[in-house]
Structure 1
C-alpha cells in the first residue's frame, strides 16, 4: 500500500514573517504600497485629537487596508472582518497584527463620508499615470441594491398621518378597555401584555409624529411627482428590480474601455436611470477628452438627456427602448419574451371598453374629410398643424352626428362631457422639427452604432459582474446617501486597485 507524508491541519504554532505573506503582484501588495506611499491620509489624521490626552487610536492606514482587503474578499459585515483580523494570516500580516473591534471598523466606514471620494480620485490619478485610462469610450451603467432600510416604512405623508390616527385610535380603545376592566378583576399576565401593547402604540405614534415634524415636505422627483418617503432612511427609494421591489439605492459607474477602470462612481436614492446620466457625465469631465464617446443603455435615454449631451458637444450613443426590434441581431428575442416568467405575468391584459383609434377612421383621397366607424363625415378642423414636431391634419365631427350616435361610448373617453370626436392623422416629421431622439435612432441603427452597443456590453458588464459576483456585493450596509455613496466608491476603489495589481503595478 502506498505511503504518503502527513498533512497537518488545524492549529499549529509557526514563526511567521508578515512581510513575506504579502506577495508581489497581488492585490494586497498593491493595496499596501498605495496606502503607505501614494495616499494622502491627512483628512483622516485631522479627525484625531489625542496628541496629549486620550488613548492611542488605530492608524487610519491600517483600518483602510483592513476594510479594502475585506471588500476584495467578499467580506462586508464588521464582525466577520474582526474575526478575519484574529484568524486569517493574510489579514494579520496586512494589518500588522492589529485586532480592532467590529464597532471600530463599522464606525470607520460609516464616518468616512467625502474622504472616500478623495481616495477614489487619488487612485484614478495613479491609474492615469500608469496609462490605464484610454479616454476613447466611456460606458455608463448602474445596479439597484437594497440598503439598511425597511421597505415597510415607506409611504407618503398622507399614509403616515393615517397610521398615526390608527395608532391613536387603538390606544384610546385600549385605555377605555382598561378603565372598564378596573371594576372587574383580570389576570396579571393579560393586564401586563395589554399594558406593553399600549406603551408600544403610544411610543410608535410619538416617533411617527416626531418624524413628520422633522420632515415637513413631501419628496418629489425631477418631474414634480410625489415620491415615497422612508422613515428608516429617507434618502433611499423603493424601486422595482428583476427580483422584486427593494428599498435601496442605485449605484452608477462610468467605465473606461481601455482597461475597464471606473472613472466615476455615484450612488443615488432613485430608481430612475434617466435622472442619473447627466450627473455622472458631468462628474467624469476631468478624465474625458474632446473626442471621448459616451455610451449607455436604453434606461438612460430621454429627449432631455440627448439635448444636454448635444449642447455640450459630447459624442454619445444611447439607444431607445425599441432599438432591438430594428436590429437584425435580436430577431429571435420574441422566443424568449414568450417564455413564462416566475416573477411576473407577461400576458397583455385587454383594455376595458377601448376607444376607436385613428386607424379605425378612413381618410379621403383629397384629405378634405375622414369617415368614422359610424359612416359619418368628420370635417377638417383648421389648417395643417404641428404636434410634437410631427405634421398633422385634424378633423372634428359635427354635433348633429356625434351627439345622437349609438357608438359614443366606444368613440369618446368621456362621452358624458365631450360632445364631438377629434382625430389627427400624422404625416411624418415637420420640416425643421427633427428631435434629438430621431437623430439618435439613425445613429444607433448605423453600423457604427451597432458596434458601439457591443463595445458597451464588453466594457461595463464585466465590471458589475466582478463587483456583484466576485466581491459579493448584494446590498449596502449603511443608511443615508452620503454614507452609501462612500461605500459604493470604496467597492469601485477595490476594483481599480485590482486593475493596478493585474497590470504589474508596484511589483
Structure 2
C-alpha cells in the first residue's frame, strides 16, 4: 500500500493559542531586514505630503514604499499583483501589518514621490558607505535599452497632423452638441443645468488631442534637427503617439521599437547603484559627466576611477573627467581595425616596411588608412605618415557634433602625396592630399590609449563587465524591468529609480545579514 506524507497542520485543527502574525515569519527571513533598514531612514519629506486635519488617518508612506520596494526585489511590478500579495502572501502581509492597500493606491504612490524617493536612494547609499559595504574609489558606468509602454509603430508629422485635424473637427462638433444640450436644459429647468465639467467622452478626446499635439511637436522637432544634417535620412521621423518622449531605437534583442536608455553608476566594492538616470534621444556620452557629478553631489566626493564602454568616451567627456581628477578607462572609438599597429615605431621618420603595410590600421568604414597610422610630433606640431613624411599644420576650423558638442580642430595636410607608394591605401575617395584633424581633446584620447594598455585597465574592464553588465542583467532578467509601465520621461525616470532603490536595498539586506552571521560566529 502506498504511503504519503501527512499534512503538517490539519485545516480544521483547533489550537489553544493562535500564532501571532510575527510568529509566521521566520527570524532570518529577509523581509525583516527590509523593514528594519527602511524603519531607520528619514521619512519626513514623505510625511509632509499628507494632510492630517481631515479624513481617515492615511497609511504611513513607509509602509506603502516598503511593499513596492520589496515587491520589486521579488520581481513583482504590477500594482494588482502587489495588491494580491499584500492580502495573501505571508511576508507581504507581515510587512504591511495586515493593512489592505489597493492597486490604485500603489499606482498613485509610485509617481507621487519622485524627489523623496531620490533622497531615500541617497540615504541607503550613505548607509552602505558608512558600513563599509560600498566604496566610491572605483565605479563603473553603463546603459541599456528598455522598451517604452507604447505601440511599436509610430506616425510621421504629416500623419499626426491629419489625425489631429480630424480630432479637432470631432471635438468641435461634440462641443457644439454639448452647448446646444445645455441651452435646452436651461430653457427647460432655468438657471444652471447642473453640469460639472466636460462629458466623459469629450474629456477623453481632449486628452487625446493633447497627446497628438505633443507628438506633432516632437516629430516636427526631430525633422527640423535632421534637416540640418548632411547625412539626413530621406524618410521623415516616426514618433510614438502614446509616449512621444520615447524614441524608436534598436532593441537589445533585435529589431526596432520605442525605447528609453536607462543608465546606472555602480560602485566596484559591493555592487550598489550610486546613480541612476534615463535618457531619451541623447547619446549615452551625454550621461558621463552629469553622472559622476551627481555622485559627488549625493555623497560628497568624486570617484577616483571610472570605467565605461566606448559609447561614453567623447573627447569632451575625457577632458571633463581629467579636470575632476577622475582616472577614466574607456575605449576610444576611432573606428580603426587591427590590433597591432606597425605605425607606432621607434623612429617615426623611418618608413614602415612594405611587409607591414597590410597591418596598418584602417578605417572600418572608409577602408583607407585610419588616423592611428599617423604619429603626432608635439615639438614640430605635425603628424608623420607611415612613409615618414610630414603633415604640417595648415589651418583651424570649428565643428559641431551630432550631440551638440562644439569646439575647434586643427587641420594637418600632407604636401607630398603625389609620388607616395601608399597613396592608394591612404587617400580618401576623390582626394588628392591626405588631411588629419586634431581637436582640443586629442591629447586626452592619446593618453587614454596608453592607459588602456596597463594592467589597471584590464582590471577595470573586468570590473565593468562584472558589475555594470551584471547589474543591468539582474534589473532586467530577475526584477523584470524589460518594459516600462509608465509613460513620459519623468515618470519613467521615477520608475527606474524605484527599481534601482530596490536593487540597492536587496544588496544591503544581504550584506547586513552576512555581517550579522559573521559576528554571531565570532561570539559563539
**What TM-score does the superposition give when structure 1 sets the normalisation length?**
0.68
Q: How much has 1:394 moved relative to structure 2?
A: 5.5
Q: How much has 1:86 moved relative to structure 2?
A: 1.6
- Partner residue of 1:40? 42
SS class of match (1:66): helix
Question: Are positions 1:240 and 2:250 aligned together?
Answer: yes
- Mind listing any 5+ residue stretches in structure 1 that lack a counterpart? 172-201, 329-350, 360-381, 398-410, 414-420
Q: How much has 1:319 moved relative to structure 2?
A: 0.7
| In 1: Cα distance, 2:96 partner to 2:70 partner | 10
Alignment of 1:231-270 (within 5 A): 231-243=241-253, 244-270=255-281
The 3 A distance-change label for structure 1 pair 496 and 7 is same
Contact 2:265–2:274 (8 Å) recurs in 1: yes
The 3 A distance-change label for structure 1 pair 109 and 29 is same
Question: Are positions 1:161 and 2:164 aligned together?
Answer: no
Q: Which range is displaced more, 458-467 or 69-78?
A: 458-467
- Partner residue of 2:482? 474
Q: 1:293 aligns with which of 305, 316, 320?
A: 305
SS class of match (1:114): helix
- Partner residue of 1:188? none
The 3 A distance-change label for structure 1 pair 22 and 394 is farther
| In 2: Cα distance, 1:459 partner to 1:128 partner | 17
The 3 A distance-change label for structure 1 pair 424 and 203 is farther
- Partner residue of 1:308? 320
Q: Which range is displaced more, 241-250 or 287-296?
A: 287-296
Q: 2:432 aligns with which of 403, 423, 438?
A: 423
Q: 1:272 aligns with which of 255, 267, 283?
A: 283
| In 2: Cα distance, 1:498 partner to 1:208 partner | 40
| In 2: Cα distance, 1:435 partner to 1:478 partner | 43
- Aligned-residue Cα RMSD (Å) equals 4.1
- Partner residue of 2:33? 30
Contact 1:251–1:267 (8 Å) recurs in 2: yes
Contact 1:235–1:480 (8 Å) recurs in 2: yes
Alignment of 1:7-406 (within 5 A): 7=7, 15-36=18-39, 38-49=40-51, 51-155=52-156, 157-164=157-164, 210-211=210-211, 217-218=217-218, 225=226, 229-243=239-253, 244-270=255-281, 272-286=283-297, 287=299, 289=301, 292-321=304-333, 385=394, 388-389=409-410, 391-393=412-414
- Partner residue of 1:5? 5
The 3 A distance-change label for structure 1 pair 125 and 447 is closer
Q: Which range is displaced more, 212-221 or 311-320?
A: 212-221
| In 1: Cα distance, 2:130 partner to 2:49 partner | 30
| In 2: Cα distance, 1:292 partner to 1:12 partner | 63
- Mind listing any 5+ residue stretches in structure 2 that lack a counterpart? 172-201, 228-236, 341-364, 371-390, 397-408, 419-426, 517-524
The 3 A distance-change label for structure 1 pair 473 and 59 is same
Q: How much has 1:72 moved relative to structure 2?
A: 0.9
Greater relative contact order (CA < 8 Å, ≥ 6 in sequence) = 1
Number of residues of Structure 1 aligned to a counterpart in Structure 2: 405
| In 2: Cα distance, 1:163 partner to 1:439 partner | 54
Q: Which range is displaced more, 51-60 or 102-111?
A: 51-60
Q: How much has 1:385 moved relative to structure 2?
A: 2.4
Contact 1:385–1:393 (8 Å) recurs in 2: no
Contact 1:140–1:254 (8 Å) recurs in 2: yes
User: Cα deviation per residue 1:91-131 (whole Å; 9 max; x = unaligned)?
Assistant: 11111111211111111112222221011011112111111
Contact 2:296–2:303 (8 Å) recurs in 1: no
- Partner residue of 1:371? none
Contact 2:45–2:116 (8 Å) recurs in 1: yes
Q: How much has 1:475 moved relative to structure 2?
A: 1.6
| In 2: Cα distance, 1:44 partner to 1:431 partner | 49
Contact 1:323–1:445 (8 Å) recurs in 2: no
